[in-house]
Amino acid sequence: MRDSLGTVRTVLLLGGRSEIGLAVAERLVREGAREVVLAARGGVAEPPSVLKELGATVHSLEFDAEATDTHTATVAGAVGLVGDLDVVVDAFGVLGEQAEYDGDPHAAARSAAVNFTGHVSVDLAVAARLREQGHGTLVVLSSVAGVRVRRANFVYGSAKAGLDGFAQGLADSLHGSGARVLVVRPGYVATRMSAHVDPAPFPATSGQVAEAVAKGLRGKATTVWAPRVLRPVFTGMRLLPRPIWRRLGR
């Protein structure tokens, strides 16, 4: 259960090796969470030791984003391990090179299957569980890449745009059910996943994203930008005329 000051007991991380996801989990454990389930393909054999050092019990769970027919069972498996899911962090994803996708439509479609379709099925499975238990928050890692899709990474960006819209709709459908969705829109975050991408203006660290998420969880926010300045920045970006937007190098 989430307590009156926002402390939770259980965390399910979908994308159990995601650096941002793990930073959020660590942050929640620092604030008092005691059970963490790391869900990833093949499970997470060697979870970061910090979670255990901070006093949490860490569980590993098999989760294949592309095997959408297994997602309901995955969520049930997490419930079997820790009981009620207080916070579910949906943080999995892949970030490929646009140029590669241009030459390999099949690879592009597979990335979209992970970055969009996989979220649709697992988030719906999570939502059904949260609705049933009458409480809980689903944190969806969206991206500013989906706020306005750029030509430099439109396969990734369009999947994120779809995910962002899906998460907002899900949030509205859960209104009044006791369950809640928090959409997180980070900018450029330096991680293993983004190592091949040049840093963008207003970068954030995974720790900063985690802090923004924790703050959003304590309050009643529905959307979190990390860093916060990206909200006005992208409000402006959305208004840029297409010819200018198209000419922006990245």
Is residue 84 at the binding interface for other proteins, with CB under 8 A as the rule?
Answer: yes
For residue 37, give the 3-state DSSP assignment. Answer: strand
Q: Which of 42, 105, 169, 219 binds other proteins (CB under 8 A)?
A: 219
Is residue 222 at the binding interface for other proteins, with CB under 8 A as the rule?
Answer: no
Q: Which listed range, 3-11, 13-21, 157-165, 235-243, lies at the site for other proteins (CB under 8 A)?
A: 3-11
Q: Which of 42, 105, 178, 201 binds other proteins (CB under 8 A)?
A: 178
Burial of 64 (0-12, 13-18, 19+ CB in 10 A): middle
Q: Which of 32, 43, 48, 77 binds other proteins (CB under 8 A)?
A: 32
Q: b/e map of 2-33 (b: 16 or more CB within 10 Å)? A: beeebbbbbbbbbbbbbbbbbbbbbbbbeeeb
Nearer to other proteins, 176 or 249 (CB): 176
Question: By CB under 8 A, how many residues form the interface with other proteins?
Answer: 21
Nearer to other proteins, 10 or 143 (CB): 10
Nearer to other proteins, 41 or 131 (CB): 131
Please confirm, yes or no, whether 101 is among the known catalytic residues.
Answer: no
Is residue 48 at the binding interface for other proteins, with CB under 8 A as the rule?
Answer: no
Is residue 31 at the binding interface for other proteins, with CB under 8 A as the rule?
Answer: yes
* Contacts of other proteins in 110-169 (CB under 8 A): 132-135
Is residue 2 at the binding interface for other proteins, with CB under 8 A as the rule?
Answer: yes
List the beta bridge partners of residue 223. Answer: 183
Minimum CB distance to other proteins, residue 135 (Å)? 4
Nearer to other proteins, 44 or 179 (CB): 179
15 phi, psi to nearest 5 deg: 100, 60
State how far the Cα of 8 lies from the Cα of 113, in Å rounded to an integer: 31
Is residue 3 at the binding interface for other proteins, with CB under 8 A as the rule?
Answer: yes
- Under 8 Å CB-to-CB from 236, ≥6 apart: which residues? none
- Under 8 Å CB-to-CB from 105, ≥6 apart: which residues? none
User: 């999570």: which residue's tokens?
Assistant: 126
Q: Which of 92, 101, 156, 225 is catalytic?
A: 156
- Under 8 Å CB-to-CB from 146, ≥6 apart: which residues? 157, 158, 159, 160, 161, 162, 163, 164, 185
Interface positions with other proteins (CB under 8 A): 1-7, 9, 31-32, 84, 132-135, 176-179, 219-220
By annotation, the residues acting in catalysis are 156
